[in-house]
Structure 1
Amino acid sequence: MVSIIVPTLNEEAALPATLRSLHALEGEKEVIVADGGSTDCTIAVARELGARVVQAVRGRGSQMHAGAVAAVGEIFWFVHADTTPPPHALRDLQNALMRPGVAGGNFGLTFDGCSLAAKQLTLIYPLLRILNLCYGDSGIFLRREIYENIGGFQPLALFEDLDLLRRLRRRGKFIHLACRMTTSSRRFKNRNFLLMWTEWTGLQLLYWCGADPNWLARRYKHVRTNGHQVNLSND
C-alpha cells in the first residue's frame, strides 16, 4: 500500500482538487491529511473527501513526519495540498522503487497558470533536477523502511525537503520520473520574480554552507510565504 501524506494549513480552497485527483488514482492507497492547526474548513473538507486527518505541530516537516508516523503503507508519498499528480503516478512510483539500488524519487513539475514566473520555472525545473536539486512540491516518495532508518522529516522551518534528500541519497539512488506533477503558481502572485529568485538562490547557498534552516526562516520570513506559513522551497 502507498500512504499519501498531504500537509495542510488553511488549504480549504486548494485541497479539494488535490484530494479528488489522489483518490482517482488506481492502486491500493490511503490518503492522510496532516494538518498544522487550520482555522478555516480544511479539516472538514479533508474528512468529507475521504482523507484521514492527523493533527500535528505547525510546520511542514513536523506535519509530514506526523503523517508518516500514522501511516500504514509500505511506501510513503508526500504531496503538497496545492499539487495534483499525473494519471499513473502510483504505478510509476511503485515501479521505480522496484529498481535495484533505488532509495527514492520524485516527479517532474509543471507550474500552473499563464504568468511569466510560472512559465519560466516550468522551464527551469528540469535544469535544477540535473543539478540534483528538487523540492517537496515534486512529490517525494520512498519506502517506509528507509524513511524510518534515516530519521524522517525533521521539524525545520525551512528546507526540510533538502535535509531529507541529503540523508536519503546516502542510502541509494534518487531517481527523477519524467511524468509531471502540477503545482500552483499562487506563491508568485504580485511578487517580483527576479528578486524572489535571487533571494531564494541566496538562501540555498547559505543552507549548503551550513546555515541553520530555522535561523534562515526567522531572518528571511518575507521571502517565502503563502499567507499562512513560512516555507521557501516548497510552497
Structure 2
Amino acid sequence: MIYIIIPAYNEENALPFTLSSLRTAHGCCEIIVVDGGSTDRTPHIAKGTPSVTLLTAPKGRASQMNTGAAYAIQHSYDTQNWLLFLHADTTLPEGSLQRLQAMHTDAMIQAGGFFHQFSGDDWRLRFISWLDNFRCTHSRIIYGDQALFVRCGLFEQLGGFPNQPILEDVAFCEKLIQHTRPILLTPPVVTDSRKFVQMGIWRSLARVFLIILSVEFRLPMLAPAFFRDIR
C-alpha cells in the first residue's frame, strides 16, 4: 500500500490537476490531503474528489505532513508500506506508483525520491532543476518537491518531520541518511513553475542558491520572510 500525503494551503489552482493525475494512475494507493486552513476552495476540491481522504491540521508543512502520516500509519497493516509526500502543485511521472509498489518486498530500499523539473521550457527553470538534482545526487538530501517516499516504520522510528516552520524536509533527511541511503528515481516529478515565474525567475534562482548554501555550509538560517507564501 502507498499512502500519498498532500499538504495543501490555498491550492485551488494546482490541486485539481494533481488529484486528477493520481486518479488516472494505476496502483494500490490511498490519497490523503491535509489542509492547513485554506481560505479558498482547496478543502471543497479535496472533499469532492472520489477516493480522497481530507484531514485538517495547523498550517505548516511539517504539521500537515505529520498529521497525514499519523493517519496512514494508524490505518496501515504493514510497517513496510510506503508514505509518499507530494506537493499540491507537483505531479508524479507515469508508472511511478506501480514501480514503487513493486519495491515493497525489497528490504534494501527504505526511502527515496525523484529527480525534479519545472513545467515549461524556460532554460533558467531547467537550470534551477539541474542545480537541485546535482545537489541531491551528491548529498541525498531530498527536498519536499521531489516526492519523498519512506517506509511507515522508518518514518515513525525517526519521529517524523521536526516541528519547525521551514526546511523541515532537509532536517528530516539529515536524520534519514544516517539510517539508509535514499534512492533517486527517473523520470522526474514535474512542479508547476507559476510560483517561480510570479516571483521572478532570476530572483527564484538566487533564492534557491542561497537555500542550498545555507543548508550545505551550515550558514545562519535565512529569515522566515524569505520563505513567504506565493500563490
Q: 1:170 to 1:142 in 2, by over 3 A?
A: same
Query: Which position in structure 2 is the counterpart of 1:160?
Result: 168
Please tell me whether residue 126 in structure 1 is matched to residue 133 in structure 2: yes
Q: 1:204 to 1:127 in 2, by over 3 A?
A: closer
Counterparts of 2:200 and 2:12 in 1: how far apart (Å)?
Answer: 26
Range 62-71 or range 20-29, more displaced: 20-29
Which aligned segments of 4 or more residues in structure 1 are displaced greater than 4 angstroms?
A: 208-213
Instruction: Return the offset for 1:44.
Output: 0.6
Q: Which runs of 5+ in 1 are unaligned?
A: 228-235
Instruction: Return the offset for 1:128.
Output: 2.3
SS of aligned partner of 2:164? coil
Q: 1:63 to 1:211 in 2, by over 3 A?
A: farther
Q: Which runs of 5+ in 2 are unaligned?
A: none
Instruction: Return the offset for 1:210.
Output: 4.8
Range 203-212 or range 66-75, more displaced: 203-212
Instruction: Return the offset for 1:198.
Output: 3.0
1:182 to 187, 190, 205: 190
- Residue pair 2:111, 2:183 contacting (<8 A) in 1 also: yes
SS of aligned partner of 1:142? strand
**Structure 2: which amino acid aligns with 1:46?**
A
Give the aligned CA root-mean-square deviation in angstroms.
Answer: 2.1
SS of aligned partner of 1:52? strand
1:221 to 207, 220, 225: 225
Q: How does 1:1-235 map to 2 (within 5 A)?
A: 1-50=1-50, 51-71=52-72, 72-73=75-76, 74-96=81-103, 98-132=105-139, 133-208=141-216, 210=218, 216=222, 219-222=223-226, 225-227=229-231
Counterparts of 2:109 and 2:128 in 1: how far apart (Å)?
Answer: 27
Q: TM-score, normalised by structure 2?
A: 0.87
Q: TM-score, normalised by structure 1?
A: 0.86
Range 68-77 or range 31-40, more displaced: 68-77
Counterparts of 2:142 and 2:170 in 1: how far apart (Å)?
Answer: 8
Count of aligned pairs: 223
Query: Which position in structure 2 is the counterpart of 1:230?
Result: none
Counterparts of 1:86 and 1:2 in 2: how far apart (Å)?
Answer: 15
Instruction: Return the offset for 1:108.
Output: 1.8
- Residue pair 1:128, 1:134 contacting (<8 A) in 2 also: no
